[in-house]
Homo-oligomer: A and B are copies of this chain.
Amino acid sequence: MTSPTSASPTSASRVQMHSSTALIPPPKLPEGGLRVVALGGIGEVGRNMTVFEHAGELMIVDCGVLFPEDMQPGVDLILPDFRALEQRLHDIVGLVLTHGHEDHIGAVPFLLKLRPDLPVYGSRLTLALVAAKCKEHRQNPRLVEVKEGEHHSIGVFDCEFFAVNHSIPDAVAVAIKTAAGVVLHTGDIKLDQLPLDGRLTDLAGFARLGDEGVDLFLVDSTNAEVPGFVTPEREIGPVLDNVIRKATQRVIVACFASHVHRVQQVLDVAVNHGRRVAFVGRSMVRNMGIAAELGLLNVPEGLLVDLNEAMTMPEDKVMFVSTGSQGEPLSALSRMARGEHRQISIRAGDTVVLASSLIPGNENAVFGVVNGLVRLGANVVHQGNAKVHVSGHASAGELLYLYNAVRPSNVMPVHGEWRHLRANAELAVLTGVAPERVVIAEDGVVVDLVDGQATITGRVEVGHVYVDGLSVGDVGESTLSDRLVLGEGGFISITVAVEAATGRAVAPPTISGRGFSDDPKALDQVVPLVEMELARTEAENITDSHRIAQAVRRVVGRWVADTYRRRPMIVPTVIPV
């Protein structure tokens, strides 16, 4: 086995974890102690939000969204669960944002609805992206810009910011100093030693902080299972250059709309090969506008071209930078793959590059797009056949550097599913952290730092808060479980009008199915069974609509299980007239 993560299976069984879902009200926080509770982001990848409490005040780090999976059909976004804050909204002294990705800033407008005056701290790019997001929600937040190297007192929390390297510029880590000790939160981090913008993760600063003593270290776990080191971002440039050199027709490059350095490399390659560039997709156009304005993206004069004009240019003089790298069905790239894009038709010999990760769960969608493009004759380059993507998160080797620089007393892995947290915990132990000082605390688990020791002291309720369309929270587990049943088997509805006094059916039952069968006669056989059952309920003088409905449901349910071995939802409606 090559991964250090599997080197010490026994040590991890001594780390602290509270894997029961039982709620335990935490004790009163001892004076001088610091409490940490994640309302999202631990035990999952997404909706990062960690609440720190000291001396009666609360400070929040990040406030992101989670994207739904198969078991959450129809849901647009999942928010952190704010319930634990509801009674203490006015104790919150600030929201610190580590960087501008959706899983760290996406829920900010929803938190600001509860506390419109909450000061929001972040670096320039992060705040610019938050401002754009809040504008869509017609909010005007109190933004406070921070820079690496700066100290800010946020209530009782003395915060120091450190530059870190990630897949978006201007990311920071934050050290939080209180009477309880020093906490260091990495945010999302990697240790590219040759970053494109020269802005290194401040390992020297971390080491200096480590010299002073770090009591609790919250560490990005995303790639803790991956051995070794992330390849430097700048190695993608030559690969792109090689692909574009060989292209004789149009080139389309898809990547994340916030990956400024990736786009920078695409622009540089375009310049080298005398191609002009058109941005495609609303978020790509918006974000690159912001990045250019802040001086984070260097766009040579005259390089950009409007999409309409690009369509009139020679095929080998133009390049498109597009959204849609995750196979999102409505994105520009998906439309091209289906031959449905309004402007860009893929022709045999065109080149498409997916310079992006493949987020687990998106494989079918992404490969669907790749297959569609290949079918149209495009030459498709993706991370499966060329080195056109590197991760934004530290691999195991880099995490070891972090632990050895910081030498923390206590460690709390964050930003990951259980497998990532566990792998990260084992790395901490390998560098010498005592296993019992490593705390795996999924969402809602309460960790108190008291007298220099981090301990799990309770668990508060943290559920999934779903956004579906315009409303938040009204779609819950019961609605989702109905959707799953309906999505698997459709429904059969049976409508019966009965005389209120006698329970006698006044018309034949109306039976129909949706999502059940394409065969219009599929339900014919059940009609006489329902009529027989209604005759029985009438004979037994059953007049209660609810009891009649139950009887009908039973008959139809049994019939469909025996006849089809399927489980559609059975929906009886009895109308007394």
Contact = CB atoms under 8 A, between A and B. Distances in A.
Interface of A: 1-3, 5-6, 9-10, 12-13, 17, 19, 43, 69-70, 73-74, 225-227, 239, 242-243, 246-248, 348-349, 351, 360-361, 363-364, 367, 370-372, 374-377, 379-381, 384-387, 417-419, 421-423, 442, 468-471, 474-480, 482-491, 493, 495, 497, 506-507, 510, 512, 514-519, 522, 563-566, 569, 571, 573, 575-577
A370 B371 CA distance: 29
B239 A1 contact: yes
Contacts of A482: 490, 514-515
Contacts of A475: 517-518
B468 A375 contact: no
Contacts of A483: 486-490, 515
B486 A374 contact: no
A361 B363 contact: yes
B74 A13 contact: no
Contact of A564 (B70, B248, B470, B573): B470
Contacts of A512: 573
Given A374-B419, A507-B577, A514-B486, A384 B225 contact: yes
A514 B485 CA distance: 10
Number of copies: 2
A27 B360 CA distance: 46
A487 B73 contact: yes
A243 B5 CA distance: 13
B367 A364 contact: no
6 contacts: A17-B375, A367-B417, A367-B419, A374-B421, A380-B419, A493-B571
A225 B243 CA distance: 16
B569 A387 contact: no
B490 A385 contact: no
A560 to B, nearest CB: 9
A421 B375 CA distance: 10
Contact of A1 (B1, B374, B386): B386
Given A370-B419, A478-B518, A6 B487 contact: no
B575 A495 contact: yes
A140 to B, nearest CB: 24
Contact of A363 (B363, B485, B575): B363
Contact of A418 (B364, B375, B387, B575): B375
Contact of A9 (B226, B379, B476): B379
Contacts of A363: 360-361, 363
Given A74-B490, A486-B487, 4 more contacts: A13-B349, A360-B363, A479-B516, A485-B515
